Amino acid sequence: MEIAVIGSNMVDLITYTNTMPKAGETLEAPDFALGCGGKGANQAVAAAKLGAKVMMVSKVGEDIFAENTVKNLQQYGVDARHVTVAPGTSSGVAPIFVDDQSQNRILIIKGANAKLSPADIDAAAEQLKACSLIVLQLEIPLPTVYYAIDFARQHGIKVILNPAPAVAGLDIDYACQCEFFMPNETELEILTGLPTSTEEEVLRAGRMLLGRGLKNLIITLGSRGSVWMQGDAVHRIDPTTVQAVDTSGAGDAFIGCFAHYLIQHGDIAQAMQSASAYAACSVTQRGTQRSYPDAETFQRFLTA
């Protein structure tokens, strides 16, 4: 394996609506889709679709969603032998509401993801040791995230930490042990308590975290592109402009693609440029994982 994703999987329950209901209001929505998601699984699938060798450490519930989740990972080429069942627990689910402006609102029920523990990392230790990169998010318990970071440090494995969903109590000292810390602007605001509405504000908040000892801070800014901050240097990556249909999972597409190209050639700026284009391609289709292009489709997008 090249990449290990230790993190969440979710069942996406996606409602497409023209208008979001007000409190106490019932509206008819034009469309619905059921899909597989979760930040960890999304990132694993994105990297695997591009050709990376990916393994995943995760938990599913003791319910009707579990078998489908594992099969879904396997069909995209993700090694799912360490995706195990948490007895007596539901799988994680994510009701997603997408409006006619392609903006989404998401609720997360962690379910079995809350049961992923250090023991699951130990059970996968031999495979994990052979990986070049570990990718983490925050839809699993923080002690498990910290344990994974300690494991990676002990075995000389680089780590990408995507602090999503943002947790104000995240121990930044652990983040500083990771090679890459990759929030979006909303998560950056929650983590620092500083506004991030403008580029100047984003950079100010970023410098605050860099002052704590972060190695590489990559901030995704949606339609405004992304920023890589390292020491005093700031590298801006312009967005790829498309007509968005559904922005669900775009940040995960970015991170999965970035991880793949980082492993391929190690050029951070170029990996970010590819990731920006990959995320843009994903928002031209509905859904999360199903919207992620494979390597051939992505190449056609780049050359169109």
| Structure-token pair, residue 274 | 């590819």
For residue 274, which of 257, 295, 296, 253 has the smallest C-alpha distance? 257
pLDDT of residue 304: 83
| CB burial string 175-192: b at 16+ within 10 A, e below | bbbbbbbbbbbebbbbbb
Residue 205 CA to residue 304 CA, distance in Å, equals 37
Residue 46 CA to residue 76 CA, distance in Å, equals 9
206 Cβ neighbours under 8 A, 6+ residues apart = 188, 217, 219, 227, 229
Question: Which residue among the candidates 79, 120, 246, 252 is catalytic per the annotation?
Answer: 252
Q: Is 120 a catalytic residue?
A: no
Residue 5 CA to residue 133 CA, distance in Å, equals 8
pLDDT of residue 104: 82
| Structure-token pair, residue 218 | 């990559």
Other beta carbons less than 10 A from residue 137's beta carbon: 26
Residue 66 CA to residue 271 CA, distance in Å, equals 33
Is it true that the peptide bond before 165 is cis, omega within 30 degrees of 0?
yes
Other beta carbons less than 10 A from residue 36's beta carbon: 24
**Site of tokens 């056609």:** 300
pLDDT of residue 158: 98
User: How far does CA 251 lie from the centroid of its chain?
Assistant: 6
pLDDT in tens, the chain (304 residues): 799 999 999 998 889 999 999 999 999 999 998 889 999 999 999 999 999 999 999 999 999 999 999 999 999 999 999 999 999 999 999 888 989 888 888 888 999 999 999 999 999 999 999 999 999 999 999 999 999 999 999 999 999 999 999 998 899 999 999 999 999 999 999 999 999 999 999 999 999 999 999 999 999 998 899 999 999 999 999 989 999 988 889 999 999 999 999 999 999 999 999 999 999 999 999 888 999 999 999 999 999 8
